[in-house]
């Protein structure tokens, strides 16, 4: 059991900050105008943490996978 990255899409404002910081894990969904997680199992944890810290609405979370 690992942890996975999730975005609360209801809260996401589509600012793209996480996408810029960590494009391996987050992608911008231009239809929904929100960010989505393309690599839920993570990757570079440091950049994920950075993305979490930079998210203006703090809607990126770790969840037990
Ligand atoms: S940083 Fe937060 S609000 Fe901005 S696109 Fe990513 S998840 Fe959405």
Confidence of residue 46 (pLDDT cuts 50, 70, 90): very high
- Atom 3, ligand 1: which residue's CA is nearest? 12
Q: What gap in Å lies between CA 18 and CA 51, rounded to an integer?
A: 5
Global confidence as pTM: 0.93
Q: Mutation test of ligand 1: which of 25, 58, 60, 61 has the most ligand atoms closer than 8 Å to its C-beta?
A: 60
pLDDT in tens, 3-17: 999 999 999 999 999
**Average predicted confidence (pLDDT) for the chain:** 95
**Confidence band, pLDDT 50/70/90 cuts, at residue 27:** very high
CB within 8 Å of 22: residues ≥ 6 apart: 43, 44, 47, 48, 50, 51
d(CA 13, CA 28): 11
3-state secondary structure of 1: coil
CATH architecture of 3-64: 2-Layer Sandwich (3.30)
The closest residue, in CA terms, to atom 8 on ligand 1 is 12
Domain boundaries, the chain: 3-64
Whether the per-residue pLDDT at 1 is higher than 80: the answer is no
């Amino acid at each position: 059991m690992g942890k996975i990255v999730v975005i609360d899409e209801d809260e996401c404002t589509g600012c793209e900050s996480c996408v810029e910081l960590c494009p391996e894990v987050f992608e911008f969904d231009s239809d929904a105008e929100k960010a989505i997680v393309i690599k839920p199992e993570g990757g570079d944890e440091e950049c994920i943490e950075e993305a979490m810290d930079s998210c203006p609405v703090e809607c990126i979370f770790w969840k037990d996978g």
